[in-house]
């Protein structure tokens, strides 16, 4: 099958799914955004493994999100997949004047400078009001929060030391406790977000990358929970057959073994 035929087949499959699959049919651009984020993380994890088959599979899942979104917007008469491709091609040409134009870039740093100059020109042409925070990309929430704080700190909007960030965190936790007591879901969500943002600030002021910290904890949780599962299986039991106290005991055992290994 030719590359063009393969792409056409993929787009035809997506159109068919939107028509005949009950789950695909009820999706909206908003309902799918979280899957795009999840798939991007899956790609990152696959690349870390170095498994080519896994990488190819996960890149396909990420491509599905683009194709799916394109199909839904095409149904609205907004744009289709090929419009996305054309827009991307034009942007790549425009932002690489050292390749497609007469600018010169001797190294990666020069390319970065040119890229930013073109972006600024694009903003000016759109008459878009520029904010200092525009330089922070919309990516991982933790990275985005820490980057926003770092940019704001450049103009003095920052605590002088980590103690100020800690005090703010305690203040936000107190407000979260009040929200929890009120049982107001919207208020709880708002205050929880404030707590997370304040905690990221504590990390930044301490020289810690929040994203790295949470990823380390996630990996730790996976290891310890797997230990619980394996130990129960070794004794002929399942998670459903034991109570929280038994699982907590095994969790503590996993912690103890990890500490001994580190020592």
Question: Could you read off the pLDDT tens digit of each residue along the chain, which spans 263 residues?
Answer: 899 999 999 999 999 999 999 999 999 999 999 899 899 989 988 998 899 999 999 999 999 999 999 999 999 999 999 999 999 999 999 999 999 988 888 899 989 888 888 887 877 777 666 677 777 777 788 889 999 999 899 889 899 999 999 999 999 999 999 999 999 999 999 999 999 999 999 999 999 999 889 988 998 999 999 999 999 999 999 999 999 999 999 999 999 998 877 66
Domain contains 98: no
Could you tell me if 15 and 81 lie in one domain? yes
Return the H-helix or E-strand segment holding 172. Answer: helix 162-182
Could you tell me if 88 and 16 lie in one domain? yes
Last residue of a domain, one of 176, 191, 208: 208
Could you tell me if 12 and 36 lie in one domain? yes
Could you tell me if 74 and 111 lie in one domain? no
Which pLDDT score, from 0 to 100, does residue 229 have?
94
Could you tell me if 157 and 227 lie in one domain? no
Could you tell me if 15 and 86 lie in one domain? yes
Which pLDDT score, from 0 to 100, does residue 263 have?
60
Domain contains 35: yes
Could you tell me if 7 and 86 lie in one domain? yes
Domain contains 34: yes
Could you tell me if 216 and 204 lie in one domain? no
Which pLDDT score, from 0 to 100, does residue 106 have?
86
Domain contains 65: yes
Could you tell me if 88 and 124 lie in one domain? no
Which pLDDT score, from 0 to 100, does residue 45 have?
87
Instruction: Give the total number of structural domains in the chain.
Output: 4
Domain contains 80: yes
Could you tell me if 10 and 28 lie in one domain? yes
Domain contains 169: yes
Domain contains 136: no
Could you tell me if 79 and 22 lie in one domain? yes
Q: Are 201 and 169 in contact (CB under 8 A)?
A: yes
Each residue of 45-54: b (16+ CB within 10 Å) or e? ebeeeeeeeb
Domain that residue 117 falls in: 104-130
Domain contains 99: no
Q: Within 10 A of 216 (CB to CB), how many other CB atoms are there? A: 11
CATH number at residue 26: 1.10.287.1080
| pTM exceeds 0.85, yes or no | no
Q: Are 251 and 224 in contact (CB under 8 A)?
A: yes
The C-alpha atoms of residue 165 and residue 150 are separated, in whole angstroms, by 13
């Amino acid at each position: 099958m030719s590359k063009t035929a393969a792409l056409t087949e993929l787009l035809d499959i997506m159109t068919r799914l939107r028509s005949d699959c009950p789950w695909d049919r009820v999706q909206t651009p908003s309902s799918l955004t979280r899957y795009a984020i999840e798939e991007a993380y899956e790609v990152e994890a696959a690349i870390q493994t170095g498994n080519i088959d896994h990488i190819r599979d996960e890149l396909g899942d990420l491509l599905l999100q683009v194709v799916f979104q394109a199909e839904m917007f095409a149904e609205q008469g907004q744009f289709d997949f090929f419009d996305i491709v054309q827009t991307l091609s034009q942007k790549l040409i425009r932002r690489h004047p050292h390749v497609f134009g007469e600018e010169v870039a001797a190294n990666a740093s020069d390319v970065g400078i040119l890229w930013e100059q073109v972006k600024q020109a694009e903003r000016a042409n759109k008459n878009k009001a520029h904010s200092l925070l525009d330089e922070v990309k919309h990516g991982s929430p933790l990275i985005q929060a820490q980057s926003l704080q770092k940019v704001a700190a450049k103009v003095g909007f920052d605590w002088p030391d980590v103690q100020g960030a800690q005090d703010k965190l305690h203040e936000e936790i107190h407000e979260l406790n009040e929200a929890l007591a009120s049982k107001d879901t919207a208020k709880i969500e708002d205050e929880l977000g404030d707590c997370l943002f304040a905690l990221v600030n504590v990390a930044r002021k301490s020289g810690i990358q929040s994203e790295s910290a949470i990823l380390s904890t996630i990996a730790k949780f996976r290891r310890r929970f797997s230990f619980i599962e394996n130990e129960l299986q070794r004794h002929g039991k399942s998670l459903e057959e034991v109570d929280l106290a038994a699982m907590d005991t095994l969790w503590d055992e996993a912690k103890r073994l990890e500490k001994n290994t580190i020592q």
